[in-house]
Structure 1
Amino acid sequence: MTSWEKVYQKWNTFQNLEPSLKSDLEKIKGNDEALEDAFYKELTFGTGGMRGVLGPGINRMNIYTVRKAVNGLANYLLVNTVNVKDRGVVVAYDSRYMSQEFAVETAKVLGAYGIRTHVFDTLRPTPLLSFAVRYLGTVAGVMITASHNPPEYNGFKVYNEDGGQIIPEEAEEIISSIQQTGDELLVPVMEREELEKKDLINWIGKEIDNAYLEQLNLISKLEPEAKQKEKDLQIVFTPLHGTAYNLVMDGLEQLNFSHVDVVKEQAKPDPEFSTVESPNPEEHQAFELAITKGKENNADILLGTDPDADRLGVAVKDPSGEYKVLTGNQLGSLLLDYILSHSDPIVLKSARMLKTVVTSELGRAVADAYGVKTIDTLTGFKYIGEKIRQFDSTGETFIFGYEESYGYLISSFARDKDAVQAAMMACEMAYYWKNQGKTLLEALDVLYEEHGYYLEGMTSLTLKGKEGSQQIAKIMEEIRNNPLTEIAAFQVEKVEDYLSSQRTVLGNAPKIETIELPKENMMKFILEQNNWVCLRPSGTEPKIKCYYGVSGDSKQDSEQKLASLKDKMEVVISQITGSN
């Protein structure tokens, strides 16, 4: 009997197995491929938490895998933080299947350790959870969400006492604690009635929402008189069946943006995300209904948030009257320019802009123009949150942080990407440029004229299951052991290996430099003419992603460079996988 079969038998013969999971297990009985995938390994707890398909098995999201993760978290907190039981943990959840149930299961495990849990009474956005950790002073936060993944997924994200996603060092200790837990089916829990009786669960109402909205109102760059004025900006908003509706609508009302039309078909939470192929504002199909409504109302700006409201997509009209969805890099550069141009020059002296290593270099060019230093982080907003925490002691000022995957943060009262903040600032920015007689696309052209035509892209290859994981590992191993020296006729000037923390500067006298960032399985090639390529396996999905950045003299020049890089890398990867 193989190892996965032993685990399957343990589950299959467990008398108290949760009924719906027992039923689901019965449905795949005899299907060795499905059973092996569900039981061959434990669901990966990565650098921020875990995410996976719902269902029975140790490689699935269910009450038992959640309980095991919480048990590990509880033991970690008891050893590494102070006043754990009194300060407690705050838990929020989104609109997905089993989200509320997993939130309660979290409280049931923590309660067994005497740790009090603050649980929101209804679904809430991820940035509100980040804010709540700081507002309540808890030792940690848990967000039950799979962000923009398909409906069959859910996830479990952990936040540290600063309100940021846990960093690798914290994750390693939590993972170690989880691994010491033992049998996931036997994790002790305290039932909900007992939790309430012993005051070990606190149901949170509107208090934190209201405190968050007070902070949100302060990020505006508008003068007090302008803030009170009703604004003639036509807005269409879709929360894509998620959690953003209340906070975004209340935030816009605070700033007197009164012309807001909501896509009604997508306004209510729906775990099936039934009107979209994917509830991801990065995917243009998610904007189809918003575009239809935008055309009906002649809207100036369309806003789309993902289910847990940490990502924002924006669409605006192009010269032909069609709506175009801005990339994360484009919107980030526009927001950065608006914020810096409306900030006190004295503040800018100590200001720092944070971006990831796969985010557009246009942001750096914009920041340089205002005398603001740019700091690069690894991919993932947890690293931006960690930097902000360091600023608390260094005297540096956080001014803006963003990543190419539609994540932005304007003010550090939250320590994770925040689509609510970004939605407010995007509307304010669109209102500003409208009063200058320009759309956001025309404002973007101004940046290109000043700094150069930057263009970025990303391709991803999905490789599911055990074999897929092996293929992804093979791609990275081959690229690492045989680094490219030329990509699409562009010479490689530097090779950055983030796993070994080494930067190799090529040329007649090659030299090795140290990369002062945490280790990560990622390779970046810096090419001539300010172009670059980066290869990185996803930490939350069975994908390997290839990021591209180019800079040209014109849109056409940049598009040609980008296309040639993509074509070449697709050939390279297909040769490694044997799929060409």
Structure 2
Amino acid sequence: MRMGKGMLLRKARPPLCPATRDEIADLRAAGDWAKLDQLLTTRVSFGTAGLRASVGAGFSRLNDLVIIQTTQGYLRYLSKIHGPQILRDMGVVIGHDHRHGSLSFAHLSAGVFLRENIPVHLFRTVVHTPMVPFAVRHLGAAAGIMITASHNPKQDNGYKVYSSIGTQIVAPADEKITEFILSDLRPRHWDSDIWRTSLLCHDPGHLIDAYMDNLVRCSHLRRRGSLELPYEPMPTSEARIVYTALHGVGQRYLDMAFERTLLPAVISVAEQAQPNPDFPTVQYPNPEEGKGTLQMAIDLANSTGADVILANDPDADRLGVAVRLPAGPENAAVAAAVAAAGDAPAAPGAWRLLTGNEIGLLLAAHLYATRTFHQEPVAMLTTAVSSGILHKVALHHGFLSETTLTGFKWLGNRTIELKASGYHVLFAYEEAIGYMVDANLPEKDGISAAVVFAELVHQLYASGKTLLSELRRLESLYGVVVNRNSYLFSPSPATTKSIFEEIRRLGDYVTTESDLEEAFNVAPSAKRARRSAPFDTVFEGTPFRVASVRDVSLGVDTAEAGNQSRLPLDHSAMMITLRFAEPAGAVVTLRASGTEPKLKYYSEISSSASVAPEQVDIERRTLKDTLDNLVDTIVEKILQPQRYQLRHPAH
């Protein structure tokens, strides 16, 4: 126990938070000091993604008191960077999803600002997350707050913040906000009703129409010339698309978007169309989780003869895609080849979930081919854990591609910088199915991505092609790329930290003793000079050899001059990338999730050049076998699941 019973008794007095008072009182009466210690002695940390935790009693969870304390700190931070009067002139935007506690948290957050005479643009209805940064930019607000836990399990909620330019915050803003939160934890205002009567509280609901108008401008229809309605409908195919909102907020916004852009209506999974905070038909409301999450959509697609499934996560800022494997003897080779890329069986008529990198490749190629400008220099962005295929596309066509750290906070802010430098940022994506198809909204958006992707589907199918045949064409043109990305559940943050410390010791790649000692408190006896071949003892007796290592926590990249990483230094990040000399071009990144108890790995291997169409299948199978062997070795020898009690996902 980290705190004595006397201190816990004082902390466990009937708390100010009415919603959780009984839970704390019951634990106190039962003498459950271990549970009280867990709930009251640690505080949910505020990071660049804001807050995300289970809803319940205690400072380590989300509840009314923690939300008020956080909002008070955020207000003081905003007042500091903008000035009190400018903050009052600009105001803030607040939105929420449908999760347990979301509506109350939004109202309490609004109350903190309104009681300080700061205008609040409070959405009266549930919105998908990108609506908040869109409103911030449209209204010129000082900041945005979105109450959502995205694709987390049902017991969680979150508090996500945006800057005045509509991007997520980056370090050290999170540290400064934390300082303001902790500087005064007394709840100055506890008012969840002032929004009803305050003249400073406005409903920005009209911006939903403005968002839809803006969406039309980034759709395929931009090729039709005039941006004024009405449009000539784009040629459509007989392709049928099933859509699921996974009990989230996406259905309303997707229906509006498809109607506004004159796309054929989707076939919706009715049981999952309405927002439901309990997510009753899925264990994990995340399209990335695969067929278990999408089973109802697959069943509907099979019964209706649909060709493609689109799925948004609950706050509709991500987009998942599944495709039917082709039937018929003429497509047998295609079915076998694409099945080799994932876990799907090769039987015609089966379904395969496209990876985030495959969706990214399809969108990147489509957006570049259909662009309407040819004067501005083009740029596209991706992240350090996403595929290198975007760089191959850029090299082939001669435009700029850049890599950022993981997360749209980095992609969004870099988008703003490149636009200011005269670039047309056409596309940005991360492999975790997040896509930006409109640089006017520098955030991932599952609705706008769904519109552009659906237009691609109809364009391909109208000409007798499919998504899978298009992927094969792109692979032949740019080179075959094979990925294997997954994760292990970690029992605790402390375990995850220990694993990364061990990885650094195994790799023996640190360049200075002071860096290692300062960052990880390593004893002098554990320090050694950097090996000429990192991880050579780990891979001894295997065909694998590491060429270089990038560790963003230390700012180290052994492939760069002076061993300095080009990516920003981030001491809070746990992310290490291994680049291999054998097999040549293979890359594996190990990363701790910032929002879930997962230790993720991302791996890739690619052909060195374009591949003849008839060789694509052979090349893919060869690369996949090599990558599987490499990843299995890394999991066994570096992550060591048995030693650290890491758990593989059920699927």
* TM-score interval, normalised by the smaller of the two chains: over 0.9
Gaps of 5+ in 2: 225-230, 327-347, 508-533, 608-617, 647-651
Distance 1:512 1:373, change over 3 A: same
Distance 1:227 1:167, change over 3 A: farther
Paired residue type of 1:297? T
Distance 1:270 1:382, change over 3 A: same
Displacement of 1:10 in angstroms is 3.6
Is 1:61 aligned with 2:89? no
Paired residue type of 1:333? L
Displacement of 1:431 in angstroms is 0.9
Is the contact made by 1:145 and 1:154 (CA closer than 8 Å) also made in structure 2?
yes
1:180-213 Cα shifts (integer Å, max 9, x gaps): 123xxx31115244444442322333x1110000
Rounded to whole Å, the distance in 2 between the matches of 1:192 and 1:49 is 21
Is 1:135 aligned with 2:138? yes
1:39-73 Cα shifts (integer Å, max 9, x gaps): 23110111120100111011101111111111110
Q: 2:91 aligns with which of 88, 91, 97?
A: 88
Is 1:164 aligned with 2:171? no
Paired residue type of 1:366? V
Q: 1:569 aligns with which of 628, 631, 634?
A: 634
2:340 corresponds to: none
Is the contact made by 1:229 and 1:256 (CA closer than 8 Å) also made in structure 2?
no
- SS at 1:496's partner residue? strand
Is 1:113 aligned with 2:116? yes
Rounded to whole Å, the distance in 1 between the matches of 2:463 and 2:391 is 25
Displacement of 1:451 in angstroms is 2.2
- SS at 1:411's partner residue? coil
- SS at 2:233's partner residue? helix
Distance 1:60 1:76, change over 3 A: same
2:544 corresponds to: 490
Displacement of 1:560 in angstroms is 1.3
Is 1:227 aligned with 2:233? yes
2:516 corresponds to: none
Distance 1:258 1:514, change over 3 A: closer
Displacement of 1:498 in angstroms is 0.5
Rounded to whole Å, the distance in 2 between the matches of 1:75 and 1:409 is 31
Displacement of 1:485 in angstroms is 2.7
Rounded to whole Å, the distance in 1 between the matches of 2:592 and 2:426 is 29
2:322 corresponds to: 315
Distance 1:8 1:101, change over 3 A: farther
Q: 2:389 aligns with which of 355, 362, 369?
A: 362
Distance 1:124 1:198, change over 3 A: closer
Displacement of 1:535 in angstroms is 1.3
Is the contact made by 2:236 and 2:458 (CA closer than 8 Å) also made in structure 1?
no
1:281 corresponds to: 287
Is 1:351 aligned with 2:416? no
2:274 corresponds to: 268
Q: 2:355 aligns with which of 299, 308, 327?
A: 327
What TM-score, normalized by structure 2, do the two folds share? 0.83
Distance 1:95 1:437, change over 3 A: same
Q: 2:400 aligns with which of 355, 369, 373?
A: 373
2:505 corresponds to: 481
Rounded to whole Å, the distance in 2 between the matches of 1:68 and 1:288 is 41
Displacement of 1:169 in angstroms is 2.4
2:189 corresponds to: 189
Is 1:176 aligned with 2:179? yes
Rounded to whole Å, the distance in 1 between the matches of 2:4 and 2:166 is 37
Is the contact made by 2:548 and 2:580 (CA closer than 8 Å) also made in structure 1?
yes
2:23 corresponds to: 24
Paired residue type of 2:535? T
1:55-96 Cα shifts (integer Å, max 9, x gaps): 101110111111111111000001101511132111111111
Is 1:295 aligned with 2:345? no
Rounded to whole Å, the distance in 1 between the matches of 2:266 and 2:559 is 52
Gaps of 5+ in 1: none
Displacement of 1:117 in angstroms is 1.5
Displacement of 1:36 in angstroms is 2.8
Rounded to whole Å, the distance in 2 between the matches of 1:329 and 1:230 is 26
Is 1:542 aligned with 2:542? no
Rounded to whole Å, the distance in 1 between the matches of 2:198 and 2:372 is 51
Determine what percentage of the aligned residue pairs are the same residue: 31
Displacement of 1:514 in angstroms is 3.6
Is the contact made by 2:426 and 2:438 (CA closer than 8 Å) also made in structure 1?
yes
Distance 1:255 1:344, change over 3 A: closer
Q: Runs (4+) of structure 1 moved beyond 6 Å?
A: none
Rounded to whole Å, the distance in 2 between the matches of 1:514 and 1:110 is 41
Could you say which structure has the higher strand fraction? 1
Distance 1:194 1:7, change over 3 A: farther
Is the contact made by 1:231 and 1:258 (CA closer than 8 Å) also made in structure 2?
no
Is 1:97 aligned with 2:100? yes
Rounded to whole Å, the distance in 1 between the matches of 2:4 and 2:215 is 49
Rounded to whole Å, the distance in 2 between the matches of 1:81 and 1:268 is 39
Is the contact made by 1:74 and 1:113 (CA closer than 8 Å) also made in structure 2?
no
Is the contact made by 2:435 and 2:444 (CA closer than 8 Å) also made in structure 1?
yes
Is the contact made by 1:213 and 1:251 (CA closer than 8 Å) also made in structure 2?
yes
Is 1:503 aligned with 2:554? no
Distance 1:298 1:15, change over 3 A: closer
Rounded to whole Å, the distance in 2 between the matches of 1:277 and 1:9 is 37
Rounded to whole Å, the distance in 1 between the matches of 2:497 and 2:204 is 43
Rounded to whole Å, the distance in 2 between the matches of 1:4 and 1:265 is 49
Which of 1 and 2 has greater Rg?
Answer: 2
Is 1:524 aligned with 2:577? yes
Paired residue type of 2:240? Q
1:121-158 Cα shifts (integer Å, max 9, x gaps): 11100111110111111100001111111000000001
Over aligned residues, Cα RMSD in angstroms? 2.2
Distance 1:522 1:578, change over 3 A: closer
Distance 1:493 1:191, change over 3 A: same
| Pairing of 1:457-476 with structure 2 (within 5 A) | 457-464=484-491, 468-476=492-500
Rounded to whole Å, the distance in 1 between the matches of 2:46 and 2:170 is 13
Is 1:398 aligned with 2:449? no
Distance 1:27 1:298, change over 3 A: farther
Rounded to whole Å, the distance in 2 between the matches of 1:274 and 1:475 is 35
- SS at 1:282's partner residue? helix
Is 1:407 aligned with 2:462? no
Paired residue type of 2:351? Y
Paired residue type of 1:530? G
Is the contact made by 1:70 and 1:106 (CA closer than 8 Å) also made in structure 2?
yes
Q: 1:558 aligns with which of 607, 617, 623?
A: 623
What TM-score, normalized by structure 1, do the two folds share? 0.93
Paired residue type of 2:444? K
Is the contact made by 1:301 and 1:427 (CA closer than 8 Å) also made in structure 2?
no
Distance 1:5 1:381, change over 3 A: farther
1:334-353 Cα shifts (integer Å, max 9, x gaps): 10011111124624x61111
Structure 1 residues 521-530 or 267-276, which shifts more?
521-530
Displacement of 1:322 in angstroms is 1.9
Is the contact made by 1:232 and 1:259 (CA closer than 8 Å) also made in structure 2?
no
Displacement of 1:392 in angstroms is 3.3
Paired residue type of 1:497? D
